[in-house]
Structure 1
Amino acid sequence: MNTTHAIDATEKKSFYKELFSLAIPIGLQNLLVALIGATDALMLGRLTQDAVAAVSLANQIAFIMHLFSGAVVGGGGVLLAQYWGKGDRVMVKNLFCSLMKWALGISFVFFALAMFVPELLMRVYTPEPALIATGASYLRAVSVSYLFSGITQCYYLIMKLEGKASKSVMISVVTLITDVVLDLFLIYGIAGAPKLGANGSAYSTVFVELVALIWCIAESHRGESVHPDWAGFKWFSADVTRDLFKIALPMLGSSLAWGLGFSMHSFIMGHLGSDATAAASITSIAQELITCVCKGISAGAGIMVGKLLGQNLFDRAKVYGKRFCHISFWVGGIHMLILCILGPIVAEFFVLSETAKAYLIIMLIFSAFYVFAYSVNTVIVCGVFPAGGDARYDALSVFFASWCFSLPLALLGTFVFHWPVIVVYILMCADEIVKLPWIYPRYRKYLWLNNLTREGAQ
């Protein structure tokens, strides 16, 4: 009995050691990425309310682009984790090169749209001429960064698999500091630099994305790290490509259903006025900052469970899945508490009208309930389930919760019944809470316990 307890204790220690080695760096990286957006918003918010609102709406284009590239990279990550656990390094390299090609193709489409038709994109989100003009100019300036960011995400994925997640954190730290410094000079025109306003934030984003990509490429050529080569770019397997899209397409469906729904939030708030848009934009940034930990744990869950499934260690994977369920509730509760405490303080850091500030405080308080549900959904549905190929559930749950419930009510409240802004906002963000009761019954079916690797796939 004592030996069994000792084995269990050792196994738990190994579990949490691996989780922390993944979740903490990935969570920190998510935090740093969110901080880049937060510092941009804070500096623009000290400039004018219209500037922060316009850039927030314009950044919905990059957000949608990342939904497409994130689904492909995320689907590839599931396969990469399982082949990595299996020890098939050639297949890992080939898949890595394939993901880079898809990511670059997606990025180019959005670069072209933002560069050549930015006014058309902005009119989707707002009818206000001032916001359209500022946002379109920002989009044209920031569009080049899209070509770099998708490929960088592929490199970050490989770093996590190789146990080098701390390297991606270091890159994010440097890019954050560089972005803040450049923003200070280019937004406000400090020390003789041109005062570019919102466009200054765009140019700093282009520069730091380029720095991150160059650093990732250099890092991949050190030691025994996986890096692309000509043979990898020429490689193609119809079977493995089908495996990839069997996972990536449901993830894309889920990402689009959730992301376009989230983008619809900006559309709805944009039609409720500048006060509502600014308050909702700042609330969204606060949510991004708070939920970085659960995103890190979700990514860690996908990698850890995926490696076990690639080795056919199904019983151990089941134990890991149960632990991640418990962890998700604890993390959700912590996120909820933090937002309740810090939420009202956030309002003091922005130059807002009294109406916008009142909206912001109430939105932040409601967001405490939102982030609890979001944390649980993210760890289990976006981490554990896809690790073994069960990616369809997320798409279905998002479709019904968002597109059949919260968004129709919010749209009716905005354009038909003209309900108060706060009522529309609460309805709009109720989707994560609606999804919560259905997760555990799905988990207990164990549809996520699958080995997705193939023999001789090279």
Structure 2
Amino acid sequence: MNPPLSLTTDSIARLTWRIALPMSIGMFFNTMFNVVDTLCAGWLGTTALAALSLSFPVFFVVMATGSGLSQGTTALMANYLGSGNRDEARHVFAQSLLMSLAAGIVLTGLGLATAPAVFRFLGAEGDYLGTVMAYMRPILFSSIAILLPMALNAALMAMGETRHFRNFLIGGFVANCALNPVLMWGLGPFPEMGVAGLALSTVLIQVGGVAFLGLQAWRSPVGHGLKRCHFRPDPRLLRQIAGQGVPAALNMLTIALGIFVTTWFVQRFGKDAVAAVGVATRIEQIVLLPTLGLNSAVLSIVGQNHGARLPDRVREAWLTAIKAGAGLMLAGGGLIVLLRGPAMRLFTPDETVIGHGRDYLLTSAVTLAAYPIIFITVFAMQGMKKPSYGLWLGLYRQLAAPVLVFHLLAFGLGWGLWGVWWGIAMVTWSAALFSLYWGYRRLCPGS
């Protein structure tokens, strides 16, 4: 059995990998969870597959809200734990659960009221709209069940504990493999539900996550001392959580905005180019998976050490994660250069799509090391209770710079699709270099 972690005294390198590795493994299984959903929707037909794709903007709002609240809660709790104020950390945890419940109710109401209009705007009508809503209604009705596991994990992550969330994600993947065919085809005593069965499977797994993670959080040093008074609404702490969580959630939403901007430019070159970027970015995301756990590690470690007023350890945590992430992605870039063709062929036999995807992945190999620099710095700033940095950087990287750079390179200089591909590389690296500058300025003032 592994001994408890001390985020303010243990070796930074040891802490980084003890926290990051379970989260990275969990995120792999979370990605495979979505792959299974996509595969099962494909078995139901093109309409079901398109319905899952079209549901992304609305579903992403729910996920971004939960992610923002989770990051804000982790940052606040870690700071209080680092300063030795465990009771205030408990108070933040309890208030974050209240906020998640309230946010879930609001998202359910707004989602059910606006989703049909949103999907019509995106081109869904008739049976297509009916299929999309059949998938989204169970998700929207269960917004609370989607937000609560993130809030519960926030408390565990503030203490550097990511193994329980890893176990939940692995268990969720296995359960999804079993539940999807049973619910969508109506095997045994269950009625045939089609695409709604895929949504119900997700909801049931999230409810299971509330029970499992809730038990782990209750048994933790923070959860064990919770009292009824901690759950009385506290406007002061609710404002603090919102102040940390809202910018983080908005930063997540800029990712959806960036996807829209890139797709708008790429679609000017035809549907083959759009298909290529969709497949290539999935490959890119799989390669990035080993670095995702570093974000959680730096948020927890920086949060506690910032609360404990240990700036040297804050700086060391940031630099350790930056070096590890960039190093992993330099190796990942080499792998992509060698395997980009075969990787594309796993997803499509269309040679035109494969050609566009190979080109994109060539520039992606150059860009990969920039992503962990950006993400780790954003999470480090979140751990220091400075969440607005990520929002402003996200607006630059996903909206302002792409609109100007893509247009200049693709059309102004006549580079075509290569202008978009290299534009992504230039914008991403400019954001990464600024992140390095900003990180050194904030964390290494004497250097």
Q: Same fold judged by TM-score > 0.5? A: yes
2:358 & 2:281 partners in 1: Cα distance? 12
**How many angstroms does 1:330 deviate by?**
0.8
Structure-2 residue corresponding to 1:234: 232
> For residues 187 and 359 of structure 2, what CA distance do their matches in structure 1 show?
35
Counterpart for residue 87 of structure 2: 90
Aligned with 2:29 (options 24, 28, 32): 32
Q: Which string of whole-angstrom CA distances, capped at 9 and with x for unpartnered residues, describes residues 402-422 of structure 1? A: 221214666899999x99777
Q: Does 1:52 align with 2:52?
A: no
Answering whether residue 206 of structure 2 is matched by residue 209 of structure 1, we say: yes
User: Which residue identity is paired with 1:221?
Assistant: W
- Which SS does the other structure have where 1:254 is aligned? helix
The alpha-carbon distance between structure 1 residues 53 and 319, as it changes in their structure 2 partners (threshold 3 A), is same
Match among 393, 396, 421 for residue 397 of structure 1: 393
Could you give the per-residue CA deviations for residues 194-243 of structure 1, whole angstroms, max 9, x where no partner exists?
554433321211111111112122333336451654311205252x5554
How far the C-alpha of 1:104 sits from its partner, in A, is: 2.5
Residues in 2 aligned to 1:130 and 1:425: alpha-carbon distance in whole angstroms: 36
Q: Which has the larger displacement, 383-392 or 343-352?
A: 343-352
Pairing partner for 1:159 from 130, 143, 156: 156
Correspondence 1:322 to 2:319: yes
- 1:176 matched to 2:173? The reply is yes
Are the aligned partners of 2:410 and 2:419 in contact in 1 as well (CA < 8 Å)?
no
Matched, 1:306 2:303: yes
Q: Structure 1: which 5+ runs fail to align? A: 1-10, 450-458
Tell me whether 1:296 sits opposite 2:293 in the alignment.
yes
Alignment of 1:214-229 (within 5 A): 214-222=211-219, 224=221, 226=223, 229=227
**Partner residue in 1 for 2:441:** 445
- Counterpart of 1:118 in structure 2 is 115
Shift of 1:294: 1.9
- Any unmatched runs of 5+ in structure 2? 1-7
Structure 1 residue 185 and structure 2 residue 196: aligned? Answer: no
- Alignment-derived partner of residue 432 in structure 2: 436
Look up the equivalent residue of 2:439 and give its one-letter code: Y
Deviates most, 388-397 or 144-153: 388-397
Is residue 331–residue 375 contact of structure 1 (8 Å, CA) maintained in 2?
Answer: no
Q: What one-letter code is carried by the residue in structure 1 that aligns with 2:107?
A: F
Paired residue secondary structure (2:69): helix
- C-alpha separation in 2, matches of 1:186 and 1:218: 27
- CA gap 1:316/1:224 in 2 versus in 1, 3 angstroms: closer
Give the Cα–Cα distance (whole angstroms) in 1 for the partners of residues 93 and 403 of structure 2. Answer: 37
Q: How many residues align?
A: 437
Secondary structure at the residue paired with 2:223? Answer: coil
Structure 2 partner of 1:385: 381
Q: Is the 8 A contact 2:41 2:195 kept in 1?
A: yes
The change in CA–CA distance for 1:223 and 1:252 in structure 2 (over 3 A counts) is closer
Distance 1:115 1:242 in 2: 27
Distance in 1 (CA, whole Å) between partners of 2:329 and 2:200 is: 36
Alignment of 1:302-381 (within 5 A): 302-341=299-338, 343-350=340-347, 356=353, 359-379=356-376, 381=377
Report the Cα offset of residue 336 of structure 1. 2.5
Match among 20, 31, 40 for residue 43 of structure 1: 40
Give yes or no for contact 2:185–2:192 (8 Å, CA) kept in 1: yes
Residues 372 and 77 of structure 1: CA distance in aligned 2, closer, same or farther (over 3 Å): same
* Amino acid across the alignment from 2:229: A
Root-mean-square deviation (Å): 3.8
Structure 1's 281 and 321: CA in aligned 2 closer, same or farther, altered over 3 A? same
Tell me the residue number matched to 2:3.
none
Say yes or no: does 1:63 pair with 2:60.
yes
